[in-house]
């Protein structure tokens, strides 16, 4: 049923929470979890400015996802990390729709109405535009 699960994550607390739920979903069929981390322009700028070189930048991003990978490996599941570049919403949607997943899991930042209006909700965009079932973890 859920052989290929996509987990959208950025290393934040809500994405770690989402990881544990992704693990539960994938566990049903002992499926594989792909982690996707969207790097937007602002993050690119900050990371390049603070990182020593591009290898360092890549390493630091991987380290950010370490707690997520830990959660998945603790559940004895296979996982792979992908990085996409661009606005988190659309780039994750594209990645999900181009790669035929059985389920997409994403954490919700838990913003209030005003914050959502200003910051926009990545999880809403994903829920609306991804073609497969989407699990939003609150």
Partner 1 sequence: MNIAKLKETWFGNVRGDVLAGIVVALALIPEAIAFSIIAGVDPMVGLYASFCIAVVIAFVGGRPGMISAATGAMALLMVTLVADHGLQYLLAATILTGVLQILFGVFKLATVMKFVPRSVMVGFVNALAILIFMAQIQHFEGEGLLMYSLVALTLAIIYIFPKLTKIIPSTLVAIIVVTVMAIYFGFDIRSVGDLGNLSSELPVFLLPDIPLTFETLAIIFPYSLSLAVVGLLESLLTANIVDDMTDTESDKNKESRGQGIANIVSGFFGGMAGCAMIGQSVINVKSGGNGRLSALVAGVFLMFLIIVLGGLVVQIPMAALAGVMIMVSISTFDWSSVKNLHKIPRTDAAVMVITVVTVVVTHDLSIGVLAGVLLSAIFFAAKISKVTVTQIVAVKGKKKVYKVDGQIFFASVNDLVAKFNFNEGIEEVEIDLTNAHLWDDSAIGALDKIESKFEQNHVKVEYVGLNAESKSLKKKIGGLSKASGH
Which spans of this chain sit near partner 1 (rule: CB under 8 A)? 39, 41-42, 44-54, 57, 83, 85-87, 117-118, 120
Structure tokens at 81: 């990390």
Q: SS3 of 33, please? A: strand
- Which of 24, 54 has the CB closer to partner 1? 54
Tell me the closest approach of the beta carbon of residue 56 to partner 1, in angstroms: 10
CB of 74 to partner 1, least distance (A): 28
User: Which of 87, 102 has the CB closer to partner 1?
Assistant: 87
Closest to partner 1 by CB, 30 or 44: 44
Nearer to partner 1 (CB atom), residue 51 or residue 133: 51
Of 86, 58, 73, 88, whose CA–CA distance to 19 is shortest?
Answer: 73
DSSP character at residue 1: -
- Strands in 134-137's sheet, in edge-to-edge order, are 78-85, 32-39, 4-8, 103-107, 134-137
Min dist CB 90 to partner 1, Å, is 11
Distance CA 64, CA 81 (A): 11
């Amino acid at each position: 049923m859920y052989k290929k699960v996509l987990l959208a994550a950025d290393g934040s607390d809500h994405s770690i929470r989402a990881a544990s739920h992704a693990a539960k979903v994938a566990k049903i069929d002992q499926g594989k979890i792909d982690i996707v981390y969207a790097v937007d322009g602002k993050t690119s700028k900050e990371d390049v400015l603070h990182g020593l070189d591009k290898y360092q930048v890549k390493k630091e991003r991987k380290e950010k996802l370490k707690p997520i990978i830990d959660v998945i490996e603790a559940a004895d599941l296979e996982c792979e990390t992908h990085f996409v570049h661009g606005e988190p919403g659309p780039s994750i949607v594209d990645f999900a729709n181009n790669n035929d997943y059985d389920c997409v899991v994403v954490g919700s930042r838990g913003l209030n109405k005003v914050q959502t209006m200003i910051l926009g909700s990545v999880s809403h965009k994903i829920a609306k535009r991804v073609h497969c079932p989407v699990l939003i973890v609150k």
